[in-house]
Amino acid sequence: MLRINDLHASIEGKKILNGITLEVNAGEIHAIMGPNGSGKSTLASVIAGKEEYEIESGEILFNNEELTELKPEERAREGVFLAFQYPVEIPGVSNINFLRTALNEKRAHQGLDPMAAKEFLALVKEKAALVQLDDKLKNRSVNEGFSGGEKKRNEIFQMAMLNPKLAVLDETDSGLDIDALRIVAHGVNTLKSAENATIVVTHYQRLLDYIVPDFVHVLYNGKIVKTGSKELALELEEKGYDWIKQELGEEIQA
């Protein structure tokens, strides 16, 4: 589904990604871990098409199409979803109206008519229940006045509504207490199918207790330096990122 080949990217002249290669297939969950500043969030933003980042070389293929040629909204309509690390507040724009606009844009792209109001509301009800999103939040302005946990749940709610092929969860666990973490993970697991794929970007192993990855990649200095099964995450948790640094240091010396 997603194939990233030797991707190099920078922001304001500062190199962040130094040759990422990654393949994600339908039905898989990939975790990307790494210390602060290793380029995790950059990778997520680059996949979504944030314009500040400059792609210097390499390719990102999504269902064999070059993603970097598409505008952010076109990527979204093709089925790329980014759950933001810091969901943006948009004052005055109701969550529901926002979602309806997004959903109908996607449907238009697929050649479908806008969803009827009744059907839409039923869908909202069903998906909101998945992440136990309070009714009031649905009608409030997008993310405005939401607590940290509510914002993250709102991201998963939107993901459920838009039903993406590829979901990239950027530090979705940050700022979540254990209950909220369970709710979010439950949402993600429920949405998982053989047709879609998920990339979980995280600093801590904690989230991976609930969303079990098929692969764990360790990002360091803009490069994937280690790939393994879910046990790698546990090992990281135990030994810390210094372990990776040391190991790398040894490699370089050797």
Partner 1 sequence: MAYTEDDLKEELKSKEYEFGFTTDIESDKISIGLTEDTIRLISEKKNEPDWLLAYRLKAFNVWQAMHEPEWAHVKYNKPDFQAISYYAAPKQKKVLESLDEVDPELRKTMEKLGISLEEQKRLSGVAVDFVMDSVSVATSFKEKLGELGIIFCSFGEAVQNHPDLIKKYMGSVVPMTDNFYAALNSAVFTDGSFCYIPKGVRCPMELSTYFRINESGTGQFERTLVVADKGSYCSYLEGCTAPQRDENQLHAAVVELIALDDAEIKYSTVQNWYPGDDKGIGGVFNFVTKRGLCEKNAKISWTQVETGSAVTWKYPSCILKGDNSIGEFYSVAVTNNFQQADTGTKMLHIGKNTRSTIISKGISAGKSQNSYRGLVKIGKNAQNARNFSQCDSLLMSDRCGAHTFPYIECDNPTAKVEHEATTSKIGEDQIFYCLQRGIDEEKAIGLIVNGYAKEVLNKLPMEFAVEAQKLLEISLEGSVG
By the criterion CB under 8 A, which residues form the site for partner 1?
48-51, 71-73, 75-77, 81-82, 84, 87-93, 97-102, 104-106, 109, 114, 141-142, 158, 162
Nearest CB to partner 1, comparing residues 140 and 206: 140
Q: How far is the CB of 88 from partner 1 (least distance, A)?
A: 4
The Cβ of residue 185 has, within 10 Å, a number of other Cβ atoms equal to 21
Minimum distance of partner 1 from residue 165's CB (angstroms): 13
Measured from the CB atom, the residue of 77 and 153 that comes closer to partner 1 is: 77
Tell me how far apart the alpha carbons of residues 207 and 82 are, in angstroms, rounded to a whole number: 17
Smaller CB distance to partner 1: residue 197 or 244?
197
Taking alpha carbons only, the member of 16, 65, 20, 39 closest to residue 166 is 65
Which 3 state secondary structure label does DSSP give 215? Answer: strand
What letter would DSSP give residue 197? E
Map residue 172 onto helix, strand or coil.
Answer: coil
List of residues 6+ apart from 124 with CB closer than 8 A: 96, 99, 138, 161
Q: What is the closest distance, in whole angstroms, from the C-beta atom of residue 110 to partner 1 in the complex? A: 11
Tracing tokens 């009827």 back to the chain, one arrives at 116
CB 151 to partner 1: min, Å: 12
Q: Which is nearer to partner 1, 108 or 212 (CB)?
A: 108
